[in-house]
């Protein structure tokens, strides 16, 4: 399984109310994906309206499918970036 960093920015015009309405369902789905080993850490930078998600999958398309299963994904512009181990790492 490959490692990815997903950068998700909230689309123009998305309101805090729209975001808050989806948070309970988002938490349930994120926990399920985490239990399946498809999602790692999630970091939110609300002042920049950006979410950083660690994701795992066979390829970019599978990772994108995983991210699109999150309820908040409907409000995001999404970029999927494969990661590489740091220089000198034995991983």
E strands, the chain, in order? 2-10, 39-45, 50-57, 76-82
Instruction: Give the whole-angstrom CA distance, residue 87 versus residue 61.
Output: 26
User: What CATH code is assigned to 2-82?
Assistant: 3.30.70.1060
pLDDT at 6: 98
pLDDT in tens, 23-80: 999 999 999 999 999 999 999 999 999 999 999 999 999 999 999 999 999 999 999 9
* Domain residue limits, the chain: 2-82
Strand order through the sheet with 39-45: 39-45, 50-57, 2-10, 76-82
Residue 85 pLDDT level (bands cut at 50, 70, 90): confident
């Amino acid at each position: 399984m490959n490692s990815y960093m997903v950068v998700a920015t909230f689309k123009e015009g998305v309101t805090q109310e729209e975001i808050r309405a989806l948070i309970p369902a988002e938490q349930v789905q994120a926990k399920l994906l985490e239990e399946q080993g498809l999602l790692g850490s999630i970091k939110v930078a609300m002042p920049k309206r950006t979410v950083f998600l660690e994701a795992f999958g066979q390829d970019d398309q599978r990772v994108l499918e995983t991210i699109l299963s999150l309820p908040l994904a409907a409000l995001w512009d999404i970029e999927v970036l494969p990661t590489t181990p740091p220089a000198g790492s034995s991983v």
